[in-house]
Structure formats: C-alpha cells, structure tokens
Amino acid sequence: MEFSNGFFIQFIRLAGPFWYSENKSTIRRLTLALFMLTIMQIGIAVVITVWSADLFNALEQRSMGGLFTQIGLIVLIFGANIAVTTAHFKVKRRLQLDWRSWLTQHLISKWMTEGRHYLVTHIQGAHDNPDGRIAEDIRIATEAALDLSHSLVYCSLVLISFTKILWTLSGVVTLNLLFFEIPIYGHLVWLAIIYAACASSLGWWLGRPYTRATDARQTVEANFRFGLVTARENSLAIALVHGEANEQSRFIGLFNDIIYAWQRQTLAWSHLFMLTSGYSVLSMAFPILVSAPRYILGSISLGALMQSAQAFQQTAGALSWPVDNMAKVAEWRASVERVLGLANGLERLEQEIARHDPHRIHLKKTEQNVLSFRELCIIRLDGVVCVSEMNDEIRPGERVLIAGNAFTGSKLFKAIVGLWPWGEGAIELPPDPVFFMPPRPYLPTGTLRAAICYPSVHSEYAESAITDALELVGLQDLHELLDREDNWAGALSREQQQRLGVVRLLLQQPKWILLQEAMDSLDSSWEMRMLRLIAQKLPDAAILTITNEPMAEAFHQRRIVLQ
C-alpha cells in the first residue's frame, strides 16, 4: 500500500482532534473499552485453538468423557464469544457514529459560515461537490478508519499471541544436506512469514490500480448525483425552454463516465479477487499439508496437528492484513482524500482572507451610519478590472440606482456583503446589517412560514405581520399554505418567489437594502409598486437597486453608473 507521510499527517490533523474534543472523556472510555474487548477476542481465539487440540486428542483416544468435557467447554466459549462480539460491535458502532458526527459538524462549521461555501468555489483545488464529500466521504473515512484500525490491532495481537504458539508446536526440524545437518527452529513460523510476504507483495502490486480506479469512480458518481440535483432544482426552467433532450444527453454522458469508471474498477478488482480467492483456499490446506508428515511419522498428535494448522492460519492471516484489506484501504483512502480536498480548500481560503494583500478589498464596520466606497477597485478572476477608483457615500433613506453593467453591479453587491474580496480599496460598512435580495430568494424545504421568515425563526414574527405582508405583495392566497411542508423553490413560480422575497424584507425591516434584479419577473407596474411599497414601509432605509426596468430611474434619487 502506497501512502505518503503527508497523507497520514493531514488526516490526523483533520480527524485526530476528535479524541481531544468536548466529550473526550466519553470518547476515550469507549476507545479503551474497544481495545479491551479486542484483547478478549484474541483470548477467546487462543482458547479455541487449545480446545480444538484437546477435542481432536479426545477423538483420537476415543474418550467419551473427554468428548463431553469439550462439549461443555465449547458451550461456555460460545456464550463468551457472543457476549464479547456483541459488546464490541455496539461500542465500535457508537464510536464510529460519534466520530462521523464530530467531523461532519467540524467541516460544516467551516464550510457553511460567512459565505465560505460560496468563496471556496473560486479557490483552485479538488473540492467540487462538497455535499457528497460531507455526506458520504466523511462516513466512509470515519467508519472505515475504525474498522481498519481495529483489524490492524487485532492482527497485531494475533501475531504476538499465535507466533509463540506456532513456534512451540513447530519443534525442531532437521534439514539434511548430505554432509551436514541444519536444525530449523520454528519452521512453521518462517513458512507463515514467507507465505504471507509473497501474497502481500503480489497484493500490493495488484492493488495500486484499484486505488486509482476507486477514486475515479467516486468522483464521477458524485458528478452524476450533482447533475441530477441541479436538474431537479431547475426543473421549471428546463420545462419552460423544453430542455429535456439536452438534459437527457448530459445525464447519459455523466452516466457513461460512471460506466467507464465501473469497468476500470471491475478490472482492477478482478485481479485482486483472483488473488484473495485463491489465497483463502490455499490458506486452509497449506498448513495441514505442511504439518501432515510429522503426524504421519508420529512426531505429533492429531490435536497438535489441528492446533498447528489453526495457529498457522491465524499467524498467516495476521501477516496478510495488507492483502485482506487492500480493497477497503483503497476505498478509505479515496474518501479521505476527497474530505481532505474540501478541508484543504477551506483552509487555503481562510489563509487567503487572513493574509494582508493590497489586491484585496478591505471591509470595515464603522460607527458612522454611512456606506462608503474609498478608492474601490473590483477585479474579475481573470484579472479584468470591473470598477476602478470608485469613491462615493450612501446615506440612510437614499434611493440609488446602480446603472451600467449589471454583471459589474452584482460584483459590487457581493463585495459589499463580503463575497467578492478580489480588488483594491475599502468599503466602510454602517453598523446595521445589509440585506441582500438576489434575483431568486432562497426558500428552504419545510413549511412555507419557515421559508418566508428564513433565516430568522418564524416565531419571531406575529401571524398578523406575515398575513399583512402577504396581502401587500398580492399573495394573500398563500396564507392557507403557511403550515404546509413542500419544496417551495420548485412549487412556486419565479414571480411568486420574488414577491415572497419582498415579504421577507418587510418582515425583517432592514436599514440597508441591496436589490439585485430582485423583481425582474414582475411586470413594470408591479415592480414599481413593490419599490414604492418598500420605500413607504421602510422610509429610513437606504435602497441600492440593479434593475432593467426603465421606469425605475424616476423612483431613485440618484444613480451610480458602472462602466
């Protein structure tokens, strides 16, 4: 298995603090319990080999009393094994869930904060499809990490325990080389090492293509899911332009990528499967065949033969951990790398924001109730300057039309709310928060009441306030749907959604409002009616508007032209 030190260090840095988190005492107790239960599993495995030797010796001696004794012992071993295995399973599952929960919350808190989920899309790196990385890859990364760690510890303890047993049972075998003899101590141990080393080397060589194939498959699977989700979220737009054929073609293309990645993974997996399936059969017969001559010659009893075979299997199995876990390690690493890709992208973004750079827009909150632009320059990602040396002030109650290029205006609005740091100069923000109303307001799935009040809690607003606001924007018919749960982004038309954006604005009553083509789906009369409604209900609020409505210029007191 081909791991770089950087990979392990990055994973430990990301996931290791779980053992030092808020619930560290519980987590450490669970980890200790898991380790102790693993030791008990090893103890039961050792007891079973001793029991097996005694059973076959009793059978060889045709001892009925010995047989009944072994039957009684296996009942006790059976009960102990069930208890230990069940307890081990529950503790491990609890630890896996806790670890996944902690890492999920940790990554979400870094991703879904202060616009980082938007800004990270402009940072170079492998961090696409963050939803799949958080939902699926974190699950695999944490669950498989504990599974692999447990199996590695288990195999290490098995190796320590059974190597001693196997060494003792091996005795001394004399190798006769014509003129002299060489005594070989613990020959079964050396055979187990050679046997497992050969299989591990072959497995490592065959497993490298599988790692790459697994990573490629997870990437294309995530791309396919993302394409389907995007189409679902934009189903109305697709239907209106009859874009179904185009979407089908795109989905088929994405799925063809999955087919190719599947076939590539199948080919790599089949090579591993040939090795593991052949290895499992050989590992059952090989130790008996190796020890059989000593039994036939009378050097060992039947019980010793079977105990030697079991000890050999346990030792070789422990040494063969890389072969047995090659596929799971490959899947685990691919998922960890995807989680690290998102985590590293967010970390680079934080460093980029924290780093003092003259080519970054400086945002500063002031006590003055004014929105000021000081030598503001806005730059696109390709280096083209959108806005150059902008100096202006906007005061409470002003209504300002942002004219000129709408694309440049959207960059200005994003810069004001901290979502576009690329440029120079400074923006001095007033103490009160800025309300940004995009072309389509975000309406989360749930009750319509909660969607309207988002991101505030709906209990903050009186029923009458919501009802009055709905009536003012002409959506009084939606009142009876307030407590119905639905996907409102798909259930409502774009015009209805934009009117609900106005409802949200009236409820929150901000003092600084940015309207980015927020009512472009309404006809001219309704758009002007909405603008006058906002000005009437919020007379002290400053309003900055980007719109294509010609009549809107008369509503505004002045305009700023962006070239």
Q: Are residues 317 and 401 in the same domain?
A: no
DSSP string, 119-169: HGGGS-SS---HHHIIIIIHHHHHHHHHHHHHHHHHHHHHHHHHHHHHHHH
Of residues 181 and 32, more confidently modeled: 32
- Structure tokens of 160? 């320590």
| pLDDT at residue 65, rounded to an integer | 83
How is residue 460 annotated by DSSP?
Answer: G
Q: Are residues 124 and 55 in the same domain?
A: yes
Q: Are residues 378 and 502 in the same domain?
A: yes
Q: Are residues 235 and 251 in the same domain?
A: yes
| Mean of per-residue pLDDT scores for the chain | 84
Of residues 475 and 291, more confidently modeled: 475
Mean pLDDT of 510-531: 92
User: Buried b vs exposed e over 378-408: b needs ≥16 C-beta within 10 Å?
Assistant: bbeeeeeebbeebeeebeeebbbbbbebeeb
Contact 500, 441 (CB under 8 A): yes
Q: Are residues 501 and 366 in the same domain?
A: yes
Per residue, what are the HEC states of 478-527? HHHHCCCEECHHHHCCHHHHHHHHHHHHHHHCCCEEEEECCCCCCCHHHH
Confidence class for position 174, pLDDT limits 50, 70, 90: low
Over the stretch 489-503, which tens digit does the pLDDT of each residue have? Answer: 888 888 999 999 999
CA–CA dist 543, 435 (Å, integer) = 10
Q: Are residues 263 and 399 in the same domain?
A: no
3-state helix vs strand vs coil in the chain, percent to 5: 65, 15, 20
Of residues 353 and 12, more confidently modeled: 12
Contact 524, 549 (CB under 8 A): yes
Spatial CA neighbour of 547 closest among 557, 538, 539, 556: 556
Domain boundary among 354, 376, 406: 354
Of residues 177 and 331, more confidently modeled: 331
What are φ and ψ of residue 377, in 5° steps?
A: -130, 125
| pLDDT at residue 1, rounded to an integer | 43
Over the stretch 371-391, which tens digit does the pLDDT of each residue have? Answer: 999 999 998 877 788 888 889
| pLDDT at residue 295, rounded to an integer | 74
Say whether 324 sits in a helix, a strand or coil: helix
Say whether 534 sits in a helix, a strand or coil: helix
| pLDDT at residue 3, rounded to an integer | 46
Confidence class for position 172, pLDDT limits 50, 70, 90: low
| pLDDT at residue 181, rounded to an integer | 67
Mean pLDDT of 251-278: 84
Measured between alpha carbons, how far is residue 348 from residues 45, 110, 381 in Å?
49, 12, 17
Pick the range with the lowest mean pLDDT from 105-119, 311-325, 538-552. 311-325
How many helices and strands, by DSSP H and E, does the chain display?
A: 19, 13
Q: Are residues 489 and 419 in the same domain?
A: yes
Contact 451, 444 (CB under 8 A): yes
Residue 182: pLDDT over 80? no
> In the block, which residue shows the tokens 């309003």?
543
Residue 81: pLDDT over 50? yes
What does DSSP say about strands 385-394 and 371-379: parallel, antiparallel, or unpaired?
antiparallel
**CATH number of the domain enclosing 518:** 3.40.50.300
Percent of the chain past pLDDT 70, that is, above it, reads 93
Residue 535: pLDDT over 90? yes
Of residues 189 and 177, more confidently modeled: 189
Of residues 342 and 321, more confidently modeled: 342
Q: What is the Cα 528 distance to its own chain's centre?
A: 45
Residue 543, Cβ density class (10 Å: 0-12 exposed, 13-18 middle, ≥19 buried): buried
Say whether 561 sits in a helix, a strand or coil: strand
Q: Are residues 350 and 368 in the same domain?
A: no
Q: Are residues 346 and 453 in the same domain?
A: no
Measured between alpha carbons, how far is residue 251 from residues 128, 147, 221, 361, 422 in Å?
18, 35, 12, 40, 35
- Structure tokens of 46? 């050792």
Residue 395 sits in which domain range?
362-562
**CATH number of the domain enclosing 46:** 1.20.1560.10
Q: Are residues 117 and 164 in the same domain?
A: yes
CA–CA dist 307, 296 (Å, integer) = 16
Q: What is the Cα 376 distance to its own chain's centre?
A: 38
CA–CA dist 502, 351 (Å, integer) = 37
Mean pLDDT of 453-458: 87
| pLDDT at residue 2, rounded to an integer | 43
What does DSSP say about strands 172-177 and 180-185: parallel, antiparallel, or unpaired?
antiparallel
CA–CA dist 15, 19 (Å, integer) = 9
Residue 47: pLDDT over 90? no
Residue 156: pLDDT over 90? no
Alpha helices per DSSP H over 417-462:
448-453
| pLDDT at residue 7, rounded to an integer | 78
| pLDDT at residue 171, rounded to an integer | 66
Q: Are residues 78 and 211 in the same domain?
A: yes
Measured between alpha carbons, how far is residue 488 from residues 336, 445, 452, 455, 480 in Å?
35, 6, 10, 15, 14
Contact 35, 19 (CB under 8 A): no
Beta bridge partners of 363: 427
Pick the range with the lowest mean pLDDT from 97-101, 283-287, 431-435. 283-287
Of residues 27 and 222, more confidently modeled: 27
User: Buried b vs exposed e over 98-129: b needs ≥16 C-beta within 10 Å?
Assistant: bbbebbeebbeebbeeeebeebbeeeeeebbb
CA–CA dist 25, 430 (Å, integer) = 45
Of residues 184 and 391, more confidently modeled: 391
Mean pLDDT of 401-411: 88
Q: Are residues 265 and 374 in the same domain?
A: no
Domain boundary among 302, 322, 354: 354
Pick the range with the lowest mean pLDDT from 261-265, 348-352, 508-512. 348-352
Domain boundary among 319, 354, 389: 354
Number of domains present in the structure of the chain: 2
| pLDDT at residue 532, rounded to an integer | 93
Pick the range with the lowest mean pLDDT from 14-18, 305-309, 335-339, 413-417. 305-309
